[in-house]
Amino acid sequence: MNWDNARVFLAICRQGTLRGAASVLRLDQATVGRRLAALETSLEARLFLRTPAGYVPTPAGELAFRAAQRMEDAAHQLERQMQGIDERLSGTVRLASTDTAAIVFLLRAIGRLHERHPEIRVALTTATQLTNLTRREADMAVRSVRPDNPDLITRHLARRRIGLFASREYIARRGEPVPGAAFAGHDLVIYQRAVAPYQSERLCDEPIANGRVVLEANSGLMLAHAVCAGLGIGELPTHLAVHFPKLVRVWSDRSEAYDMWLVMHGDLNRTARVRAVADEIVGVFSEP
C-alpha cells in the first residue's frame, strides 16, 4: 500500500467526504479522488460505498483502515524519534491549549522563550477539544485532563480554582442569587454540553434547574466575555476573572478545584526546542 494514497484513504475515512479529506490534507478534491481510485486499483477492491450521506467503508475498506492506521502510527513514531535526537534550539514547536490558559499563561511563556531562543517558533492552537499527540496533531499540550496513555509524559503544572462570577451591572440590576434556590430568577451562561457536560446540571455545586440559560459557549474566553457583558452568571477560573475588572465574585465561599498538566509524547522529551518551550511553560505556572 502506497503511503501517500494511504494518507488520503485515512482522511476520507475520518472526514466522510472527498471535500473534507481535501481540506484536511490541503489538496484539491480531484487529487483526492485520483489517489483513492489508484489505491482501489492497486488493492483490487472497492473501499467505500458512495452514499448521499458520504463515503462509508466497505468490509474491505474496514480492513484497509486498520492496516493504514498501523502505517500511520509507524510513520509518526519515526518522525518523533528523529525529532527526539534534535539538539537544535530552532524550528517550530506545535503547542495546543485552551484560549484562557493561552491568554493568562502561555503568551507570557512564549514571550520569554523568544527572548532566550529567538529561532524557535511556536505554532499555538487554542481549542476546547483535546488534541491527539500520538497522531502528531501537536508536539505538546496544556490540559486540565491528565491522559492515561503510557506513551505520553505528563507534568503537573498547578492546581487552580473555579468560582461564580457576574458583571457589576448584572448584580446591581438583579442582585445575587439565593444559595439553595437553584438560581431561581437568574440568567446563566454555561459551556456547551460537549465541552463541560456537568454545567448543564450545576455550577459550583449549585443545581441550575430554576435558572434560565441565556447562552451556551464553546470557548472559555467567549464565556468570560459573555459574563462580563452582563448576560448572566457564569463559572470561570479565578485567575482569568481578575483580568476583567467589571466582574464580581458571587458566593465567594463556593469554588471547585482543578489541575493543569503539561503533556508531551515521550519520543519528543529530549528534543531541545521542545524542552525549551516546556521549561518556560513550567516557569510561568510556578509563579504566584
Domain boundaries, the chain: 3-84, 89-288
* CATH of the domain spanning 3-84, picked from 1.10.3720.10, 3.40.50.300, 3.60.20.10, 1.10.10.10: 1.10.10.10
Q: Report the SS3 class of residue 32.
A: helix
Look at residue 278 in the predicted model and tell me its pLDDT: 95
Look at residue 81 in the predicted model and tell me its pLDDT: 62
Give the span between the Cα atoms of 90 and 175, in whole angstroms. 54
Look at residue 53 in the predicted model and tell me its pLDDT: 84
Look at residue 134 in the predicted model and tell me its pLDDT: 62
Look at residue 216 in the predicted model and tell me its pLDDT: 97
Look at residue 86 in the predicted model and tell me its pLDDT: 57
- Share in percent of the chain as helix, strand, coil (round to 5): 40, 25, 30
Look at residue 152 in the predicted model and tell me its pLDDT: 86
Give the span between the Cα atoms of 227 and 246, in whole angstroms. 9
Q: What are the backbone angles phi and psi of residue 129, rounded to the nearest 5°?
A: -75, 145
Give the span between the Cα atoms of 248 and 222, in whole angstroms. 17
Say if residues 265 and 133 touch (Cβ distance below 8 Å). yes
Look at residue 110 in the predicted model and tell me its pLDDT: 97
What is the CATH code for 89-288?
A: 3.40.190.290
- Cell digits of residue 14: 475520518
CA angle 189, 193, 199 (to 5 degrees): 50
- 135: Cβ contacts below 8 Å, ≥ 6 apart: 72, 76
* Average pLDDT taken over every residue of the chain: 90
- Report, as ranges of residue numbers, the positions in the chain whose pLDDT lies below 50: none
Neighbours of 238 (CB within 10 A): 14
